Amino acid sequence: MYNIAILEANQNQAALLKALIEKNVHKEVLNVITCPSIVELAKYLSDGNVASMLFVDVWMGEEENFSRENATPKGIGIVEKYRRYFTRAQVVYMGDLDHYTPAIYETEHAFFLPKPFLQQDVNTALACALTNLSNNTNKSLPVKIGSSIRLVKFSDIVFIESQRRKLRLHLANEVIDMYGSLTAMAAALPWQFVQCHKSFIVNLEYAVDLRKEGFVMASGDKIAVSQTKRKEARRSFTKYLAVDM
C-alpha cells in the first residue's frame, strides 16, 4: 500500500486532487489523505503513518502576497525543514503556472504538477513517483553492529521487533540486534513493511495470513496486531495481495 499525503491549503483543490488520484489505474493500492497545514501532516506522521508520496502546494495559499525577494516559498520551505520526517516519500510539487518558481529545484522531487489539475498530468506524476518507489525497494538497510556497518537487504527481513531501546531484525536464518526506535525504523523501510503493533513491524512479503490474533508469517511466527492498528493492517495486507497478483 502507498500512503499519499496532500499538503494543500485550499481544500477544494485538495479534494479535487484526491478524487483524480483515486481514479488512477493503481487506485486499489493508493491511500490518500489531505492536510491543510503542516500541523495536520505532523499529526498524521506522529500517529505512526509513513507517507510514500507527498503532494505539496508550492505556495500554500500565499502566492498573491509573496513579495520578499529571494525568500523561499512556504511549501518548499516545509519540505526543506521537515524532510527528515518523510525521508521515504516521493515529493510532487504543485502550483499554478502563472506563479511557477525555479526554487522547486533546490529540493529533490519527483514531479511538478501544474494547476488546474488534469487526470493525465496526475497519472504522469503518480507514474514517476511509483517508478522511483519501486526502484527504492531494491535497496538495503545499513545496520550498525559494533564498529562496523552491515547492509541488510530489505527483502531478507521477515519482521522487526522492539525490545525497549533495542530492535531485533528477524531474518530467515538469523536475528540481528541493533539500537533504535521502531518509529524511526518504519520511516526508513519500503512500503511493504507495516507497523501492526507498538512492538512489531512486518514485511508483507512474508505474511501468509491475517487472523484475529495477528499475522501468520511464512517462517511460522505469529505477530500480534494491536486493536488500534487492526483496520490499517488488514487494509495494507489486502492491498499488498492485490499488487502481488
Q: Tens of pLDDT along 13-42?
A: 999 999 999 999 988 889 999 999 999 998
Residue 68's pLDDT is 52
Any idea which residue has 495536520 for its cell? 40
Is residue 178 within 8 A of residue 143, CB to CB? The reply is yes
Residue 184's pLDDT is 81
Question: CA–CA distance from 127 to each of 2, 123, 140, 149, 244 (Å)?
Answer: 13, 6, 23, 34, 18
Any long-range contacts for 161-170 (C-beta under 8 Å, 24+ apart)?
A: 161/199, 161/200, 162/198, 162/199, 162/200, 163/199, 169/141, 169/143, 170/219, 170/221
What average pLDDT score do residues 126-142 get?
80
pTM for this predicted structure: 0.61
Which range is most confident: 18-27, 102-111, 134-143, 180-189? Answer: 18-27
Burial of 82 (0-12, 13-18, 19+ CB in 10 A): middle
pLDDT digits (tens, 9 = 90+) for 168-194: 999 988 999 998 888 888 877 887 899
Q: Is the pLDDT of residue 138 over 70?
A: no
Is residue 52 within 8 A of residue 191, CB to CB? The reply is yes
C-alpha cell recorded at residue 142: 545499513
What's the CA gap between 42 and 85, in Å, rounded? 9
Cβ atoms within 10 Å, residue 135: 9
Q: What is the mean pLDDT of the chain?
A: 88
pLDDT over 70, % of the chain: 93
Q: Is the pLDDT of residue 64 over 80?
A: no
Q: Which of 129, 132, 121 is nearest to 95 (CA)?
A: 121
What average pLDDT score do residues 84-105 get?
86
Residue 57's pLDDT is 96
What's the CA gap between 141 and 96, in Å, rounded? 38
Q: Is the pLDDT of residue 63 over 70?
A: no
Which range is most confident: 80-89, 147-156, 178-187, 198-207? Answer: 198-207
Any idea which residue has 527483502 for its cell? 155
Q: How confident is the model at residue 65 (pLDDT cuts 50, 70, 90)?
A: low
What residue ranges define each of the domains in the chain, with the CATH number in brackets?
A: 2-136 (3.40.50.2300), 140-244 (2.40.50.1020)
C-alpha cell recorded at residue 103: 526554487
Q: What are the start-end ranges of the H helices in 152-223?
A: 182-188
Any idea which residue has 492536510 for its cell? 35
Strands (E), 60-218: 90-96, 111-115, 140-145, 148-153, 157-163, 166-171, 175-179, 193-197, 200-203, 207-211, 214-217
